Amino acid sequence: MVESVKSIDVNELVQRLASGTQSLQLIDVREPEEVAIAALEGFENLPLSQSQEWIPKILERFDPDVETYVLCHHGIRSAYTCQWLESQGFKQVFNIAGGIDSYSVAIDRSVPRY
């Protein structure tokens, strides 16, 4: 299992996004075909299967000092990504527990489930 990473539920995510008090970094590690089915606005797609392409540029694309939220389907791949980001010096990384599936169930039923 993944060592403890900070997690938030989808309700907390919605509150955080709505607050708009500071910039947030939003990363979706699902595959492009998954994002084509269901996506949340503002999330940058960095497919885990293509990590060898984006890993070398992660510190150019994202600021390790800015709050970073990571999404996947159910929260497992994003938890691993959070753990890796922390190993790269990211200080405020949050796994979105339950992933986009939980978002569809609890927040917006118009987001397709798969």
Which residues are identified as catalytic?
72
Q: For residue 78, give the nearest of 111, 9, 30 by alpha carbon.
A: 30
Helices H, strands E: what count in the chain?
6, 5
What is the rounded CA–CA span in Å between residue 2 and residue 7?
12
